[in-house]
């Protein structure tokens, strides 16, 4: 039985991860980190009684095999280091990380197995496998990326959009420059540009469309999440595949494609 601690247990993603973990026969949700602004007793009334709730990271990681983190960047950095101190595997889906917070994740990965992904859906993992080939073969075509999320998403562009854009750029021999939106004013496309467009409206969970176009034809690939369970299921699968590995920073796509 995989013993799990969850950071962001009261958030949108955290609640779904908790539900999916409760339904998994091989996972036991042991502990959850709650924001200091929330009362532990009050929060416990809406969660399974067996879950140990705490405000303290060192207490959270005690007696668990893996931590899953869907929180805020400043929490993620401290959580990664706390997991490293306790020798606990660390899975994070928090986006909007700054370089200092990525540095904390890299530091943790020197002593524990870590996976950080901007998107844990299986569909995006597959997309990240096929996009490099498209970008190479269609290197002379224009490329634009559009993403849509709910009105309360904090970071823009989304972490997934930036990941896809970087994959395209890495696959193309020529230098690629990112353009965030176009206009106002002259918006004529320049060679090597990759346009990234963010929309925040309504309750859209997440939609990413990648467009390749020449003067004669075009290809558009769209992935959308119909439920946050897509992300939760992927994060739990990442946890299963991460525990027991050697220290290092792993890619979710690579873990998923291993037989």
Which positions are catalytic?
Answer: 149, 153
Question: How many angstroms separate the CA atoms of 179 and 151, rounded?
Answer: 22
Question: How many angstroms separate the CA atoms of 2 and 29, rounded?
Answer: 8
Question: How many angstroms separate the CA atoms of 238 and 250, rounded?
Answer: 10
Q: Cβ-count burial of 174 within 10 angstroms (0-12 exposed, 13-18 middle, 19+ buried)?
A: exposed
Question: How many angstroms separate the CA atoms of 208 and 247, rounded?
Answer: 32
What are the beta bridge partners of residue 113? 248
Only one residue has tokens 């969850």, namely: 6
Q: Which residues contact 20 (CB under 8 A, 6 or more apart)?
A: 229, 232, 233, 236
235: its two tokens = 């994060």
């Amino acid at each position: 039985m995989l013993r799990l601690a969850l950071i962001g247990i009261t958030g949108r993603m955290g609640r779904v991860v908790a539900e999916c973990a409760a339904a998994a026969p091989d996972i036991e949700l042991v502990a959850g980190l709650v924001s200091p602004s929330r009362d532990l007793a009050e929060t416990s009334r809406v969660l399974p009684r067996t879950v140990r709730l705490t405000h303290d990271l060192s207490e959270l990681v005690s007696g668990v095999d893996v931590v899953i983190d869907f929180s805020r960047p400043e929490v993620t950095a401290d959580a990664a280091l706390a997991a490293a101190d306790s020798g606990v595997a660390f899975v994070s889906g928090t986006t909007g990380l700054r370089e200092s917070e990525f540095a904390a994740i890299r530091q943790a990965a020197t002593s524990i197995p870590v996976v950080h992904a901007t998107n844990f859906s299986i569909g995006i993992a597959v997309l990240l496998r096929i996009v490099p080939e498209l970008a190479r073969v269609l290197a002379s075509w224009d490329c634009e990326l559009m993403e849509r999320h709910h009105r309360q998403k904090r970071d823009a562009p989304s972490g997934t959009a930036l990941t896809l854009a970087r994959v395209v750029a890495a696959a193309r021999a020529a230098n690629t420059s990112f353009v965030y939106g176009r206009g106002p004013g002259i918006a004529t496309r320049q060679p090597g540009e990759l346009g990234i467009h963010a929309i925040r409206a309504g309750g859209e969970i997440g939609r990413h469309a990648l467009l390749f176009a020449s003067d004669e034809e075009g290809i558009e690939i769209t992935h959308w999440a119909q439920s946050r369970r897509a992300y939760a299921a992927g994060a739990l699968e990442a946890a299963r595949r991460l525990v027991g590995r050697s220290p290092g920073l792993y890619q979710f796509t690579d873990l998923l494609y291993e037989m």
